[in-house]
Amino acid sequence: MRMGVSKTMSTLVDVHIEATELKRFCGDVFESLRLEKGDAVTAADVLVSADLRGIPSHGVGRLWRYVNGLRGGQMIPDACAETVSETDMSIVVDAKGQMGAPVSVRTMEAVIHKASEQGTAFGCVRNSNHFGIAGYYAMMALPHDMIGLTMTNTAALGVPTFGRQVMFGTNPLAFAVPADREEAFVLDMSTTVVSRGKLEVYDREAKELPMGWAVDKSGQTACDPGSILEDMFHRIGGGILPLGGINEEHGGYKGYGLAVMVDILCAVLGGAPCGPAISDTETTSARVSHFFGAIRIDRFRDAAGFRSDMDAMLAQLRSCPPAEGQEQVYYAGQKERLNERAYLEHGIPINGTTYSQLLEAADEQGVTPPSIVAR
């Protein structure tokens, strides 16, 4: 058994599941593992939101990581997070091993409250766990006419420019900005070419990686996701490339710099480990740290005028003539919102292997498995 994937699956048929049903199921699993109901609901909402937005690499396909983390003590269901320091514009929280989603939601709420009074505010969370998609927390600022900013570091999975050993995480960041008629601009990206979750998706589907996503232990481009995941986990060498890809020709040093920037804001600023000091276990994710920010728009200009100008800019991007063979140009967050609407109506598509893992979790935890949408 590697990385929590069962050798025998009860089904490999792709299915569709309603979002509310998937959230109910994940919440039940979390409650069965002693998570308080409110935190269980929050964690389930964050997890399913990734699938709703068409990001299965961070959705319920990772439920087994959370289950193993809660069973093994890496994630502590009843941990009491501690506020280490706080000012009118800042907050530093020690999660004490709490699940990433609940402590992150509470910290972002505190940051938004501070920003509503001071105009801008920032927060760090250390000693936390995997928190799902970064965009979830950045988007929390949108209803308040604020710009949201979120980052997290991860276990070391990224190889620096000219290197062949992992030295930093996929270190995602998210940036959410409100508009009026247009969808909100929501940039949610890893600072590596792809996240580890994307490699896991390719591994589950027995697909080769595109050239330029990762390198092997010699530092050369490699395409077998399974061997890269194994070597990366055991620190044999190889890993995921920074944004821009290998060497300098396509700007790989830029992604490398962004990844280090995330480590600085999440970990160094918050007093937490970073880089190679963070390692996943064989069954679950590592303890990590996060960074949150909120900016109140009307402290800079009229918020309605800002949203109107955002509409104009985003509409202009949409109207860019598409490349030959392409249907249209999208801006960050637009495709995800289209996915969300479609999946809310027709159900979320769940890979057959992932669905089998959900059934396995239901059986082990004694909860009702998620019912599928009849097609």
Kindly report, residue by residue over 298-348, the tens digit of the pLDDT.
999 999 999 999 999 999 999 999 999 999 999 999 999 999 999 999 999
Write down how long the chain is: 375
How crowded is residue 366: how many other Cβ atoms within 10 Å of its Cβ?
9
Share of the chain above pLDDT 70, in %: 97
Mean pLDDT of 217-227: 92
Quick check: 185 pLDDT over 60? yes
Contacts for 244 with CB less than 8 Å, ≥ 6 apart? 193, 250, 251, 252, 253, 254, 255, 256
Quick check: 57 pLDDT over 80? yes
Quick check: 6 pLDDT over 60? no
Q: What is the pTM of this model?
A: 0.93
CA angle 144, 131, 49 (to 5 degrees): 65
Contacts for 312 with CB less than 8 Å, ≥ 6 apart? none
Mean pLDDT of 133-157: 97
Please give the pLDDT value at position 198. 87
Go through the domains of the chain in sequence order and give each one's CATH number.
1-78+348-375 (1.10.1530.10), 80-193+247-346 (3.30.1370.60), 196-240 (3.30.60.50)
Please give the pLDDT value at position 205. 86
**Cα(195)–Cα(187) distance, rounded to whole angstroms?**
15
Band (4; pLDDT cuts 50, 70, 90): very low
**Cα(99)–Cα(45) distance, rounded to whole angstroms?**
13
Please give the pLDDT value at position 245. 92
Mean pLDDT of 234-254: 93
Band (2; pLDDT cuts 50, 70, 90): very low
Quick check: 5 pLDDT over 50? no
Q: What is the mean pLDDT of the chain?
A: 94
251 exposure class (CB count in 10 Å sphere: 0-12, 13-18, 19+): middle
Ranges 5-19, 69-83, 283-297: which has the least confidence: 5-19
Q: Between β-strands 239-240 and 120-128, what pairing exists: parallel, antiparallel or unpaired?
A: unpaired
Quick check: 182 pLDDT over 60? yes
**Cα(168)–Cα(255) distance, rounded to whole angstroms?**
11
Alpha-helical segments (H) within 235-302: 252-263
Kindly write down the DSSP assignment for every residue of 45-70, as one continuous string. HHHHHHHHTT-GGGSGGGHHHHHHHH
Q: Identify the three-state secondary structure at position 275.
A: helix
Q: Largest Cα–Cα distance of the chain, in whole Å? A: 58
